[in-house]
């Protein structure tokens, strides 16, 4: 979300200035009213990095923060703030205990900005590698309600569920990815080293070679003669694909295409919907307005296609439609889930029903992941068996012919 700078007045007439990350000027005005500040001017803030952030960016260009580190940090911050430790002291103390330089510099920078008078959410938003938009929004809600410890605890629980989903996906796809990589290595070794050694033997045999042998020799000759061009073409293709995938239109198309991949597309789709339901449940339970919550969640799902659908929901709700009606218009959810959302809207427990929806989708993802290996295994066996058959026939048929000629 964009960051807006504002100028306003406190109830006693004193001037108030600062910056707030929000979906729009109206959301900024709402937050200021909650803080008893009368807005005078609101505009988009210029994106300037202070020296501390610039130094951090140069220092940590290759540094990354793992999800485990963010979860542990959230748990520690929740425990320290619940125990009454001042947030600046907590940040300083944690900065001295972690081993990741990026985390250390980020926490120190947040503490420095807090000492300069910035709000915690604003200070966190300047370190996006460590604190996501969702994280900053949850902390902002905690600031408004006076429950910062609860905000950190909720983020810890949410990220822990996110980690479990990622682990399940990796575990289910590890075996097929390993097999496919082994197949690629096998093809490369056979074409570059094995077939050329047999070629002289095949030439000495003479006569008509089997089509399997001719195919292997032609592929091997092509790979040996043009391997620099093949390598360059593959590298350029990867770079072009990466550039396209990182563009707005390319990322949208790729995120949509992932859901149509056989066997795994439906798993990806349900995992994203589970993330949406879980995230939206968390932000609503924390007290965030539904329109602002949808704006935050649209970026937190990490899928532009689903994010665009969520933005459609937000626009429809801003026009006066109900939540379940706006959700039905996107065609994202099954009829059973739509019934659950309708019940939640009627009873005023949308956040609780969204948590149920998240559990429903996560159970479906886990069930499908358990059957993914058994579904992919026959396909991989057929692919490997076909390759072995062609290689065996291509290599051994001429040798059998030579053996028969010698025996005669």
pLDDT tens digits along 88-111? 998 988 888 888 888 888 899 999
**Measured between alpha carbons, how far is 128 from 142 in angstroms, rounded to an integer?**
19
Q: How far apart are CA 31 and CA 144, in angstroms?
A: 9
Buried b (16+ CB within 10 A) or exposed e, 218-247: eebeebeeeeeeeeeeeeeeeeeeeeeeee
Pair of tokens at residue 114? 């807090």
Beta strands in 22-144 (DSSP E): 37-44
Dihedral sign of CA atoms 316, 322, 327, 329 in order: negative
pLDDT tens digits, residue range 19-73? 776 666 666 777 777 676 777 677 766 544 444 444 444 444 456 788 888 889 9
Query: What pLDDT is stored for residue 262 in this prediction?
Result: 84
The whole-angstrom separation of Cα 74 and Cα 153 is 7
Please answer whether residues 97 and 86 qualify as being in contact, where contact means their C-beta atoms are separated by less than 8 angstroms: no
SS3 4: strand
Decide whether 50-131 matches 161-408 in CATH topology: yes
Domain 161-408 has CATH 1.20.1260.10: no
Average of per-residue pLDDT values in the chain: 80
**What torsion, rounded to 10 degrees, do the Cα atoms 233, 236, 240, 246 define?**
130
pLDDT for the residue numbered 53: 40
Percent of the residues in the chain that have a pLDDT greater than 90, as a whole number: 6
Count CB-CB contacts under 10 A for residue 345.
Answer: 16
Q: Which pLDDT score is estimated for 40? A: 67
The tens digit of pLDDT for each residue in 270-282 reads 888 888 888 888 8
DSSP track, 64-83: ---HHHHHHHHHHHHHHHHT
Confidence of residue 181 (pLDDT cuts 50, 70, 90): confident
For 50-131, the fitting CATH number among 3.40.50.410, 1.20.950.20, 3.20.20.370, 1.20.81.30 is: 1.20.81.30
Q: What are the pLDDT digits (tens) for 288-336?
A: 788 888 888 887 787 889 989 998 988 888 888 888 888 888 888 888 8
Q: How many residues does the chain have?
A: 408
Q: Structural domain boundaries of the chain?
A: 1-48, 50-131, 161-408
CB atoms within 10 A of CB 258: 16
Q: Output 53 or 208, whichever has higher pLDDT.
A: 208
Percent of the chain having pLDDT more than 70? 86
pLDDT at 215 over 60: yes
Q: What is the pLDDT of residue 239?
A: 94
Asked whether the predicted pLDDT for residue 284 surpasses 50, the reply is: yes
């Amino acid at each position: 979300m964009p960051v807006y700078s504002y100028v306003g007045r406190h109830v006693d007439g004193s001037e108030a200035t600062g910056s707030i990350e929000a979906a729009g000027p109206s959301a900024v005005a709402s937050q200021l009213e909650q803080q008893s500040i009368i807005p005078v001017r609101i505009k988009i803030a210029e994106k300037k990095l202070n020296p501390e952030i610039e130094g951090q960016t140069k220092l940590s260009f290759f540094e990354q923060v793992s999800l485990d580190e963010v979860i542990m940090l959230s748990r520690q911050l929740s425990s320290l703030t619940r125990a009454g430790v001042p947030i600046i002291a907590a940040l300083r103390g944690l900065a001295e205990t972690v081993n990741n330089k990026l985390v250390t510099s980020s926490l120190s920078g947040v503490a420095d900005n807090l000492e300069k008078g910035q709000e915690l959410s604003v200070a966190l938003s300047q370190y996006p590698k460590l604190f996501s938009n969702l994280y900053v929004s949850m902390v902002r809600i905690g600031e408004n309600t006076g429950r910062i410890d609860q905000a950190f605890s909720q983020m810890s629980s949410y990220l822990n569920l996110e980690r479990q989903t990622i682990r399940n996906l990796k575990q289910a796809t590890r075996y097929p990815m390993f097999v496919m990589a082994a197949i690629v290595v096998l093809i490369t070794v056979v074409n570059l080293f094995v077939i050329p050694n047999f070629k002289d033997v095949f030439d000495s045999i003479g006569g008509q070679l089997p089509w399997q042998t001719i195919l292997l020799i032609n592929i091997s000759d092509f790979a040996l003669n043009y391997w620099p061009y093949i390598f360059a073409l593959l590298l350029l293709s990867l770079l072009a694909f990466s550039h396209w995938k990182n563009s707005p239109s390319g990322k949208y198309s790729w995120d949509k295409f992932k859901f149509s991949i056989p066997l795994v597309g439906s798993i990806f789709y349900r995992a994203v919907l589970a993330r949406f339901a879980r995230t939206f449940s968390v932000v609503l339970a924390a007290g965030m307005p539904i329109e602002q919550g949808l704006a935050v969640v649209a970026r937190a799902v990490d899928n532009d296609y689903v994010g665009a659908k969520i933005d459609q929901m937000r626009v429809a709700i801003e026009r006066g439609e109900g939540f379940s009606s706006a959700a039905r218009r996107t065609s994202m959810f099954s009829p059973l889930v739509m019934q659950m959302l309708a019940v939640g809207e009627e009873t005023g427990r949308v956040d609780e029903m969204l948590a149920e929806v998240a559990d429903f989708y996560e159970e479906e993802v886990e069930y499908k992941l358990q059957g993914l290996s058994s579904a992919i295994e026959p396909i991989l066996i057929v692919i490997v068996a076909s390759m072995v058959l062609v290689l065996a026939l291509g290599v051994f048929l001429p040798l059998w012919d030579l053996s028969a000629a010698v025996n005669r």
